[in-house]
Amino acid sequence: MTSEDSVLVQVQNLKKYFPIYKGLIVNKHVNDVKAVDDISFDVYKGETLGLVGETGCGKTTVGRTILHLYRPTSGKIIFGGINLADLGENEMRVMRRRMQMIFQDPYASLNPRMTVGSIISAPLDVHTSANRKEKQDQVQELLKIVGLNPDFVNRYPHEFSGGQRQRIGIARALALSPDLIICDEPISSLDVSIQAQVVNLLEELQERLGLTYIFIAHDLSMVRHISNRMVVMYLGKIMELADRNEIYLRPLHPYTQALMSAVPIPDPDKARNRQRILLEGDIPSPVNPPIGCNFNTRCPIATEECFKIDPEYRELTPKHFVACHHAEQFIK
């Protein structure tokens, strides 16, 4: 499914800092929350790239910065060969047609006072010159695609369950036939049996419409299920990037290894027999990340070097990137 030679999005040395100000009279810029700190990766056409990490690792900020909902502090987002930073407001609006987003909370991301029909046709109002009849047909078609009854156009969001609302969000994202959809934790607020429905729908739509996804979530098994390649983030940096099988069979970063071993396994025999790598402590604050490697406060194999030098993010084996001084020992 992935065609390796066609890159849709290039993220180059992306940084996003949120400034912290202090003082009432003299508003002094005292520090930054380093939400995303110098990351680079490519997204290929037609693939699903999974972004995983724990709370505060910057995964959502990456998604929003790619869409230029946040202006990057530095670094480039190149979408289909065009550097988004070079675009003016009007040009950017045209680009937005090609990239859409599905949000985490299906209760907060749909306007309760708008009908389903007007929610889904809102992008069409802004970006196309379709007339009323055309829009109506399109909305009904979109509802059918996401598995909802097309007669629901005049209903309001509160009449739907969480899973159905997420389908409405998907229909809205599909309205302009985008190339890229950023799915920001689209299933984490749904029940298990409903999660599978939504994930299956996303997979089916990708196959049918040739979509590219960036799938952001904290649930490692779900991300592995849906992705072709996976990015593991920690405290604003990429720790590891590799193919879904490669990263599972041969995780090179101690953080990825710990994350994998913490995933609950729905099988009593396997769950009881495995070795767990338990991480000590909590994630440090992104305002004052540790000196050297970001992971050094919790890393089981950290050495003196890790507390001094920030490890380089490098391609250790073909197409397998890792940022760790000691990753070599894990190449089997």
Site for another protein (CB under 8 A): which residue of 8, 258, 293, 323?
Answer: 258
Determine the 3-state secondary structure of 52 from DSSP: strand
Identify which of residues 33 and 84 has a Cβ nearer to another protein in the complex.
33
Residue 99 one-letter amino acid:
M
The β-bridge relationship of strands 320-322 and 314-317 is: antiparallel
> Which of these ranges, 18-26, 69-77, 95-103, 262-270, lies near another protein under the rule CB under 8 A?
262-270
Q: How far is the CB of 200 from another protein (least distance, A)?
A: 5
Identify which of residues 25 and 192 has a Cβ nearer to another protein in the complex.
192
Torsion of CA 209, 151, 185, 229, to 10 degrees: -20
| Those residues with Cβ within 8 angstroms of residue 219's Cβ, 6 or more apart along the chain or in another chain | 52, 187, 188
> Considering CB under 8 A, how many residues would be counted as binding another protein?
43
Q: How far is the CB of 262 from another protein (least distance, A)?
A: 4
* Cα dihedral 118, 123, 129, 134 sign: negative
Identify which of residues 169 and 251 has a Cβ nearer to another protein in the complex.
251
Q: How far is the CB of 159 from another protein (least distance, A)?
A: 13
Q: How far is the CB of 71 from another protein (least distance, A)?
A: 28
Identify which of residues 200 and 288 has a Cβ nearer to another protein in the complex.
200
Identify which of residues 78 and 260 has a Cβ nearer to another protein in the complex.
260
- Distance CA(202)–CA(199), nearest Å, equals 5
Identify which of residues 98 and 244 has a Cβ nearer to another protein in the complex.
244
Identify which of residues 72 and 254 has a Cβ nearer to another protein in the complex.
254
Phi and psi angles of residue 312, each rounded to the nearest 5 degrees, phi first: -75, 145
Residue 287 interacting with another protein (CB under 8 A): no
Residue 275 interacting with another protein (CB under 8 A): no
Q: How far is the CB of 317 from another protein (least distance, A)?
A: 19
> Which of these ranges, 60-68, 114-122, 129-137, 216-224, lies near another protein under the rule CB under 8 A?
216-224
Q: How far is the CB of 194 from another protein (least distance, A)?
A: 8
The answer to whether the CB of 232 falls within 8 A of the CB of 309 is: no
Number of other residues whose CB lies within 10 A of the CB of residue 255: 28
- The residue ranges of DSSP E strands in the chain, in sequence order, are 7-22, 28-44, 48-52, 74-79, 82-83, 99-102, 180-184, 212-217, 229-234, 237-243, 314-317, 320-322
Hey, what are 112's tokens? Answer: 């309760």
Residue 292 interacting with another protein (CB under 8 A): no
Site for another protein (CB under 8 A): which residue of 81, 112, 266, 318?
Answer: 266
To which residue do tokens 């992705």 refer? 227
Residue 250 interacting with another protein (CB under 8 A): no
Strand partners, 44: 7
Residue 288 interacting with another protein (CB under 8 A): no
The residue count of the chain comes to 332
Site for another protein (CB under 8 A): which residue of 60, 65, 100, 195?
Answer: 195
Residue 143 interacting with another protein (CB under 8 A): no
* Cα dihedral 261, 263, 265, 271 sign: positive
Residue 208 interacting with another protein (CB under 8 A): no
The β-bridge relationship of strands 7-22 and 82-83 is: unpaired
Residues that bind another protein (CB under 8 A): 54-55, 161, 163, 191-197, 199-200, 203, 218-222, 224-225, 244-245, 248, 258-269, 271-272, 276, 278-279, 282-283
